[in-house]
Amino acid sequence: METLMLHEVTEEILQLDLFKYILTFDDGLYSQYFYWNLLKEIPTTKIFFIPTGAIRLEDTCRPQFEGEHGIFPTCYEAMERWFEGGDREAYMTLGEIKKMKSDGAIIGAHGHAHIEKYNDCFISRLEEFRNDNLAMVKWFEDNLGEIPKHYCFPFNKEYKTQRAVVHVETGIKEFYGKERKDVMELL
């Protein structure tokens, strides 16, 4: 089965035949939770890759779809607000993550700070990556009581050393990245 990559969820995306794919959702956006009550009815695997530093540590859940579609910032707008001003309103809360997990969603790792670049040399920034990885694992252990089994490379940029470090330090064996089909290709 082909794997599909989604970021923000929209009314148009929900019109697609999503049951034909393994669904992977990047970045832990609130729109993913907003439509969870519809998404969970699709009979296929659903993996939500969250950058743990973006998740709001609130044990609350905001409204979900009840017939009226929402308007949400794009993934890139949400990320810009988070990176530049610390605004994480467009991301899920811990309560929302827990609710989805209890309903059958798989919660996977997407780093802690969603580091985009390691310049041209990943090795030169290995310590930064290792610290980010340790923060991600600690977040999962502290908040979900487990180490994730799935990892998606931020921005789908994989470095062989990065894969090895994640595997050795966490035991994660399931990796996702640019091999996934972007849902936008179906619209």
Q: What is the pLDDT, as a whole number, of residue 12?
A: 96
Q: Residue 180 contacts by C-beta under 8 Å, 6 or more apart in sequence? A: 3, 4, 5, 24, 156
Q: What is the pLDDT, as a whole number, of residue 116?
A: 66
Q: What is the pLDDT, as a whole number, of residue 129?
A: 82
Q: What is the pLDDT, as a whole number, of residue 127?
A: 80
Residue 105 DSSP label: P
* 135 and 112 Cβ atoms separated by less than 8 Å: yes
* 176-to-41, 179, 180 alpha-carbon distances in Å: 23, 7, 7
Q: What is the mean pLDDT of each run of 10 residues along the chain (187 residues)?
A: 97 96 98 98 98 97 97 96 96 98 98 73 73 94 97 85 86 94 96
Question: Which residues span the domain enclosing 150?
Answer: 3-186
Total number of domains in the chain:
1
In tens, the pLDDT along 127-140 reads 888 888 999 999 99
Q: What is the pLDDT, as a whole number, of residue 169?
A: 86
Q: What is the pLDDT, as a whole number, of residue 118?
A: 54
Tokens of 135: 């923060």
Predicted TM-score (pTM) of the model is 0.94
CATH code, 14: 3.20.20.370
User: Which of 121, 116, 122, 109 has its CA nearest to residue 169?
Assistant: 109
